[in-house]
Structure 1
Amino acid sequence: MKNIYKLLGLFILVSSTYSCGKDDLNLAPLSQIGDNAFYQNDEEIEGAVIAIYDGLQEVPMREFALTEMRSDNAKSKSREGDWAQFESFSVKSTNVAIVNYWRANYNVIFRANVVLKNIEVVQDGAKKNQYAAEARFVRALSHFNLVRAYGDVPLLDKVVTPTDSDYAAYLAKTPAADVLTFIQTDLEFAAANLPSKASASFGRATMAAAQGLLAKVYLTQGNYAAAQPLLTQLVANNQYALQAAYSDVFYSEKNNEILFAIPYTNDDVNESQDFSFEMTQGGQVSGLNFVTDDLAGAIDPADVERKPVLINPLDPKANAKFLTTSGNARLCGNDWIVLRLADVLLLHAEAIMAGQSETASVAAIKSYNLVRARVGLSTLPENGTAKLTKQMLMDERRIELAFENHRLYDLIRFGEAQNVLSNYATNTAVSFSPTDLLLPIPQAEINVSGGALLQNPGY
């Protein structure tokens, strides 16, 4: 069919073939099927489920520019071209990276909606619930990416075509609060119907992944009471554990610290990525997502385990978290970690702190201490005499999760973005305003919406 999802730049790509082994998720090249394809059995629906994950591989490609490079963590090597717009808080609505990110996420949502549209052909009840849960998990993840990046965005809960009577309504923005509520509903279903880690192939959604993402959505909504029991359950889940060495989280993949990751394969033209090259070696002439002086100065000199992973010892301007072992520098196989246990532990402390400036909770301090003890740093007493402050928690999240695309959204969630980024902008001789916390809606999408999609304030 022609013109379907013209606004959202989507292609009708769903897979009729798949390969999914016990120990891995093989995202094989897709065959192209039009929207008029008829899904007839369990196998074809699972093929469409695998196609969702294949589409998800596009999302992290330049996500770092929209997140880390709009914080005090990262910059381009020489402030050149469109990439400099992110570090100077001057992103234009024509910036290619924001267009591609918008389209990549809506492509994933479309693929998920194709599965849900055809889910009733699945005869096995357990499989039907699992496939629906996987589709709803990834649909929620992509909507969450979009609402945090752009604010109010179109919410797509079904496959929409230009011939549908409500087509125009779907082109308009939905308030961010309503999008978050929709995401919450998807994740609640996913958490109730996804398998455990032991029963799932790496790279496919699990119950714990849905619980962790749902908890983060609750925290984004300020619903600490709903987030805390989920995070407490995850902290106690013995299927997950911190890696003994911080570097092993990234250099020894498919480890037990990871709740959800997007897998890639070295030197495979279809299954590789190049963000590792951009971050660690310096592509695009200048190099992207490199270390700011501000981040380098925030690393404790005693933090000898994390520093060489965050800062390349051979190039102190480059980060080292995604150093590649690929033969082709631009065909990298480093997986992208979406959610891991260290993140969960610090979210657990955040939920207990519940928006306050500090907490004396032993449970919160224990979670915080586990992250610090892993890298040999000092910890707080766990006897009720110590207090964990919001600043300590923010600082720990900044270093532990640097270059994993959390910093900007952490600052927003903690209510500190305007203060921190205004100071950072002043120190780096750029201009920052509160409207810079949201990206502009891509102008190309506004142009084809017939006036239904409106630009964000400040652009």
Structure 2
Amino acid sequence: MIAFLTSCQEELDLDNPNAFSLEELLQTADGFELLAVGVMDSYQKIPANEFLLIDLRSDDSRANAQNGVYPDVDAYNMDTNNGDAATYWSNNYATIFRANSIIDNRFLAPEEYQYTIGEAYFFRALCHFNLVRAYRNVPYLDKVIDINSNEASNYPQLPPSEVYEKIIQDFRTSIAFLNGGPQNRYRPSEGAAICLLAKAFLSQPNPNYTEAELLLASVIENKESFGYDLLTIDRDDAVNFLFDADPNDPTVNVLTTEEYRANQAITFAKIFGNEFTGEFSSDNLRLDGTFSNNEGLEINEEIIFSIPYEAINTDNVASSQSGLDDQVETDAEGFSNAMTASGPSNGVNVATLDLLSLMTPELQPVRFDGTFRSITVIADDILNDTFNSKYHLLGKPMGTIGLF
């Protein structure tokens, strides 16, 4: 037995012999690009817990009573053993560590990879933005720290106002490095950094509306270069579903208010990557059909930044399990899928009665059909387990930042 264990000693070594060290990456031609990809890979793990700590505790979403610890999270009854809170904390700081590895060595970056420095500042700011909203007082790590050092064990937590000052500065630095770079919705860009900087100004303890307005005005004025715009449809471009004669000229087909709202609802659903199949009912003057995912609509002009995942199909249901043998990444995608119309049986993202009292077909004729999907036995009872009609969005509905 001793001989057997001795012979297996090298087999149990967990170090990857094919992995580059940080020093080796810094010396390769595309080392900074590989480091930047590593930061994005790390961020993929964050959305898995984000919904629970942010949206589920709002007054719009709830968890059903049979769904594990989620009702306790919804009711603010979390204890110190809650793994989701700890995982969200550690995953954000793991991404910050990788971003700082780039920032600390930024002076070594070749000219063609300067944008990776902007991406690193972007993710450092975004992760701290996540943390301060979820936990309030948090440490702001602006350098690589040895977790075994005395400095790490005594690193101070800062009040939210100071955290936001540093977040704002990092987003500003990110904009400078990303200026003139490609507009890629799957990676940080100048436009995304400007939008999130504006959001930081609005989210800090004392919101700065003037700065936020100036930043967002620049996005609107330069929407063609950034590629952003709100999805909408003009009346002149809308479809007449029924023939409604003009009282002054019976040969002219007039677009009614109900028809225009139906056109708007179809356009609104495209924000979520959903396509309408059906018709306009002449009986109740509303859309009569279903919304389903169309991957071609997912990355649209309202998306400013989106975390990409690889999607595959399982059991004839469009899920977002990557099949890449990356356990943490797969968990993030699977949880993301549970938030959508493809995986509603988990009962995690159920519309509250307060929300449904405001979002009704009568009060919100444009947004209702593209937003909600009832899976109850009584199809007309929207007050019972009503889920959002968001589909898998290539596995990233929980990792997408949009204009809406």
Answer whether TM exceeds 0.5 for this pair.
yes
Equivalent position of 1:346 in the other structure: none
**Amino acid of the structure 2 residue aligned with 1:207:** E
Equivalent position of 2:62 in the other structure: 75
Say which SS state the counterpart of residue 390 (structure 2) adopts: coil
Select the structure of larger CA radius of gyration. Answer: 2
RMSD: 2.7
**Amino acid of the structure 2 residue aligned with 1:194:** L
Equivalent position of 1:339 in the other structure: 401
**Amino acid of the structure 1 residue aligned with 2:348:** L
Q: How far 1:140 sits from its partner (Å)?
A: 0.3
CA 1:257 to 1:230, structure 2 compared with 1: closer, same or farther past 3 Å?
same
**Amino acid of the structure 2 residue aligned with 1:233:** S
**Amino acid of the structure 1 residue aligned with 2:358:** A
Q: How does 1:105-144 map to 2 (within 5 A)?
A: 105-124=92-111, 127-128=113-114, 130-144=115-129
Separation in structure 1 between the aligned mates of residue 215 and residue 298 of structure 2, nearest angstrom: 25
Say which SS state the counterpart of residue 110 (structure 2) adopts: coil
Q: How does 1:33-44 map to 2 (within 5 A)?
A: 33=20, 37-44=24-31
Q: How far 1:185 sits from its partner (Å)?
A: 0.6
**Are the counterparts in 1 of residues 336 and 397 from structure 2 also a CA contact under 8 Å?**
no
Separation in structure 1 between the aligned mates of residue 170 and residue 67 of structure 2, nearest angstrom: 40
State whether structure 2 residue 209 is matched by structure 1 residue 224: yes
State whether structure 2 residue 307 is matched by structure 1 residue 323: no
Equivalent position of 2:168 in the other structure: 184
Paired residues, what number?
Answer: 304
**Are the counterparts in 1 of residues 183 and 190 from structure 2 also a CA contact under 8 Å?**
no
Separation in structure 1 between the aligned mates of residue 228 and residue 343 of structure 2, nearest angstrom: 35
State whether structure 2 residue 245 is matched by structure 1 residue 248: no
State whether structure 2 residue 153 is matched by structure 1 residue 168: yes
**Are the counterparts in 1 of residues 183 and 191 from structure 2 also a CA contact under 8 Å?**
no
Say which SS state the counterpart of residue 62 (structure 1) adopts: helix
Equivalent position of 2:357 in the other structure: 297
**Amino acid of the structure 1 residue aligned with 2:388:** A
Separation in structure 2 between the aligned mates of residue 168 and residue 64 of structure 1, nearest angstrom: 29
Q: How far 1:41 sits from its partner (Å)?
A: 3.4
With 34-43 and 59-68 compared, the bigger mean Cα shift is at 34-43
**Are the counterparts in 2 of residues 134 and 205 from structure 1 also a CA contact under 8 Å?**
yes
Say which SS state the counterpart of residue 30 (structure 2) adopts: helix
Equivalent position of 2:81 in the other structure: 94
TM-score with structure 1 length normalisation?
A: 0.61
Q: How does 1:308-387 map to 2 (within 5 A)?
A: 308-315=369-376, 316=382, 317-324=385-392, 333-336=395-398, 338-342=400-404
Equivalent position of 2:9 in the other structure: none
**Amino acid of the structure 1 residue aligned with 2:309:** Y
CA 1:253 to 1:283, structure 2 compared with 1: closer, same or farther past 3 Å?
closer
Q: How does 1:432-447 map to 2 (within 5 A)?
A: none
Say which SS state the counterpart of residue 260 (structure 1) adopts: strand
Separation in structure 1 between the aligned mates of residue 344 and residue 94 of structure 2, nearest angstrom: 26
**Are the counterparts in 1 of residues 119 and 188 from structure 2 also a CA contact under 8 Å?**
yes
Separation in structure 1 between the aligned mates of residue 386 and residue 116 of structure 2, nearest angstrom: 40
**Are the counterparts in 1 of residues 306 and 396 from structure 2 also a CA contact under 8 Å?**
no
**Amino acid of the structure 1 residue aligned with 2:231:** Q
CA 1:88 to 1:336, structure 2 compared with 1: closer, same or farther past 3 Å?
closer
Identical counterparts, % of pairs? 30
Q: How far 1:113 sits from its partner (Å)?
A: 0.8
Equivalent position of 2:307 in the other structure: 262
Q: How far 1:193 sits from its partner (Å)?
A: 2.1
- The structure in which a higher percent of residues are strand is 2
CA 1:292 to 1:306, structure 2 compared with 1: closer, same or farther past 3 Å?
same
**Are the counterparts in 2 of residues 52 and 108 from structure 1 also a CA contact under 8 Å?**
yes
Q: How far 1:223 sits from its partner (Å)?
A: 1.4
**Amino acid of the structure 2 residue aligned with 1:206:** S
**Amino acid of the structure 2 residue aligned with 1:201:** N
Separation in structure 1 between the aligned mates of residue 131 and residue 372 of structure 2, nearest angstrom: 29
Separation in structure 2 between the aligned mates of residue 174 and residue 79 of structure 1, nearest angstrom: 38
CA 1:107 to 1:86, structure 2 compared with 1: closer, same or farther past 3 Å?
same
Q: Which runs of 5+ in 2 are unaligned?
A: 1-15, 233-266, 274-296, 313-321, 377-381
Q: How far 1:117 sits from its partner (Å)?
A: 2.2
Equivalent position of 1:202 in the other structure: 185
Q: How does 1:277-292 map to 2 (within 5 A)?
A: 277-280=337-340, 286-292=346-352
Q: How far 1:249 sits from its partner (Å)?
A: 1.3
Separation in structure 2 between the aligned mates of residue 167 and residue 77 of structure 1, nearest angstrom: 40
Deviations 1:207-243 (A, max 9, x none): 1111111111111231122211001112222321122
CA 1:318 to 1:280, structure 2 compared with 1: closer, same or farther past 3 Å?
farther
Q: Which runs of 5+ in 1 are unaligned?
A: 1-14, 17-30, 326-331, 343-459
With 139-148 and 232-241 compared, the bigger mean Cα shift is at 232-241
**Are the counterparts in 2 of residues 45 and 118 from structure 1 also a CA contact under 8 Å?**
no
